[in-house]
Amino acid sequence: MVTGSPGKKTTGVVGEAAEQLALAYLQRQGLTLVQRNYRVARGPSARGGEIDLILRDVDGTLVFVEVRARAGTDQGGAAASIGAGKQRRIVRTAQHYLMNLVTLPPCRFDVVAVDGEQLEWIRAAFDAG
């Protein structure tokens, strides 16, 4: 059974469309997809987390990308919705991902904010500190 208002897109559908839009945009900028929707399961020793996109920039930097979508900028927009708690979860998830690599590459945390029809790529939106 499908719930919700007729004609209204679910958060999952909107998020998936925004991720696809962001990925296509970043690939046009020269980045290469490494992994999509990297997840750490919630468990007794892990709080869980997800990184929407992991890409490699042309200079070899590993880029962890959070994609956020909002219908508009009424409440600060998509970029404003990534608070300190969300940033910490992304950093912890990235650290988990990096534990599986033999050599640690330079890394960066970017945000792609989709507000309605407008896309904004924010490089180095936050750091691991």
Could you state, in order of their start, the residue ranges of all structural domains in the chain? 11-123
Residue 3 pLDDT grade (very low, low, confident, very high; cuts 50, 70, 90): very low
Residue range 13-51, pLDDT digits in tens: 777 899 999 999 999 999 999 999 999 977 665 567 899
pLDDT tens-digit readout, 82-116? 888 889 999 999 999 999 999 999 999 999 999 88
pLDDT of residue 58: 96
* CATH assignment, 11-123: 3.40.1350.10
In order, the DSSP letters of 18-49 are HHHHHHHHHHHTT-EEEEEEEEE--BTTB--E
Alpha helices by DSSP H, 52-101:
84-98
Name which residue leads in pLDDT, 9 or 83. Answer: 83
pLDDT of residue 1: 40
Kindly give, in sequence order, each residue whose CB lies less than 8 Å from that of residue 30, ignoring residues fewer than 6 positions away.
57, 58
25 vs 14: CA distance, rounded Å:
16
92 CB burial (10 A radius; 0-12, 13-18, 19+): middle
Predicted confidence (pLDDT) at residue 8 exceeds the cutoff of 50: no
Q: Does position 2 have pLDDT exceeding 50, yes or no?
A: no
What pTM did the predictor assign?
Answer: 0.84
**Which residue is listed with tokens 């997800």?**
50
Higher pLDDT, 30 or 12: 30
Average pLDDT over residues 48-73: 90
